[in-house]
């Protein structure tokens, strides 16, 4: 980021250790003669494109807009007052370790009887609100079903790979006439029937196995 600084050393909370790094291409040599040394902008663009292509699906957002990168960029400009007000509310602060009075915030943060396992607060304010839970009420056509023999749980998967479940699934199958072959398919998860489901997120429940697909 333009104007950003890296922080190194143990005096960061006092403002020490702020450094700027500038890339120089004068001494870069290609590994083979077929490669031409490009500009900094070209290398940055290629790196960004690579990260976007590899991580966008996993992060569910743009790599550059991800929480991790935005926090890193905010920290790189934490020395600017206006940037502090825009991105985060707290300030760098050393933990307290004194003998008299006996205060050890390091031990407290690691976890003790009085306060087991403190968690550091996020460096910057959240930029995005949590997505609403998507409702899945409806019917899954030709869902793949499996009845677990060990606990009687009935599982269902739709064509998107989403999963629904219900305990004591045999009661939802009692109205079906299943041949031995279909019973085997049901046991190994290859039996297909349409199901009515309800719920959202990871809590999708099977409420009915439909007789007709």
Beta strands 103-104 and 154-157 are unpaired
Extended beta strands in 70-127, E state:
97-98, 103-104
Helix (H, G, I), strand (E, B) or coil at 10: coil
Helix (H, G, I), strand (E, B) or coil at 148: coil
Tell me which of 132 and 122 has the higher pLDDT: 122
Taking residues 205-212, report their average pLDDT.
88
pLDDT at 10 over 80: no
Task: Say how far apart CA 68 and CA 71 lie, in whole Å.
Answer: 5
Q: At which residue do the structure tokens 């600084």 appear? A: 5
Taking residues 103-114, report their average pLDDT.
69
pLDDT at 94 over 90: no
pLDDT-wise least confident of 15-24, 50-59, 107-116, 193-202:
107-116
In this prediction, residue 191 carries a pLDDT of 93
In this prediction, residue 127 carries a pLDDT of 57
Q: pLDDT confidence of 114, banded at 50, 70, 90?
A: low
- As a whole-number percent, the residues of the chain with pLDDT over 90 amount to 16
In this prediction, residue 145 carries a pLDDT of 94
Q: pLDDT confidence of 119, banded at 50, 70, 90?
A: low
Record the tokens describing residue 114, joined without a space.
């009085």
* Each residue's pLDDT tens digit, 147-189: 998 889 999 998 888 889 998 899 999 999 889 999 999 998 8
Task: Say how far apart CA 90 and CA 131 lie, in whole Å.
Answer: 25
**What is the location of CATH 2.40.50 in the chain?**
138-209
Give the bridge partners for 198, in sequence order. 205
Record the tokens describing residue 64, joined without a space.
């550059």
Fold of 138-209: OB fold (Dihydrolipoamide Acetyltransferase, E2P) (2.40.50)
Q: Which of 28-32, 58-62, 113-117 is predicted most confidently?
A: 58-62
Taking residues 63-85, report their average pLDDT.
71
Q: Are 74 and 123 in contact (CB under 8 A)?
A: yes
Taking residues 128-148, report their average pLDDT.
72
């Amino acid at each position: 980021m333009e104007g950003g600084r890296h922080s190194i050393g143990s005096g960061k909370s006092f403002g020490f250790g702020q450094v700027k790094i500038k890339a120089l291409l004068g001494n870069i040599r290609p590994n083979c003669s077929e490669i031409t040394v490009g500009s900094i902008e070209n290398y940055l663009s290629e790196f960004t494109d690579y990260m976007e292509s590899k991580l966008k699906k996993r992060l569910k957002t743009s790599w550059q807009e991800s929480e991790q990168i935005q926090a890193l960029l905010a920290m790189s400009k934490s020395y600017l007052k206006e940037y502090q007000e825009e991105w985060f509310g707290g300030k760098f602060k050393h933990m307290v370790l004194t003998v008299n009075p006996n205060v050890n915030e390091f031990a407290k943060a690691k976890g003790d009887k009085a306060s087991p396992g403190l968690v550091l607060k996020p460096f910057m304010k959240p930029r995005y609100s949590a997505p609403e839970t998507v409702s899945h009420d409806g019917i899954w056509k030709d869902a793949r079903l499996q009845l677990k023999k060990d606990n009687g749980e009935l599982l269902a998967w739709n064509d998107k790979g989403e999963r629904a479940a219900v305990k004591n699934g045999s009661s939802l199958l009692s109205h079906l006439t299943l041949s031995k072959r279909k019973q085997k398919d049901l046991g190994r998860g290859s039996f297909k029937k349409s199901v009515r489901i309800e719920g959202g997120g990871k809590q999708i429940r099977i409420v009915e196995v439909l007789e007709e697909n």
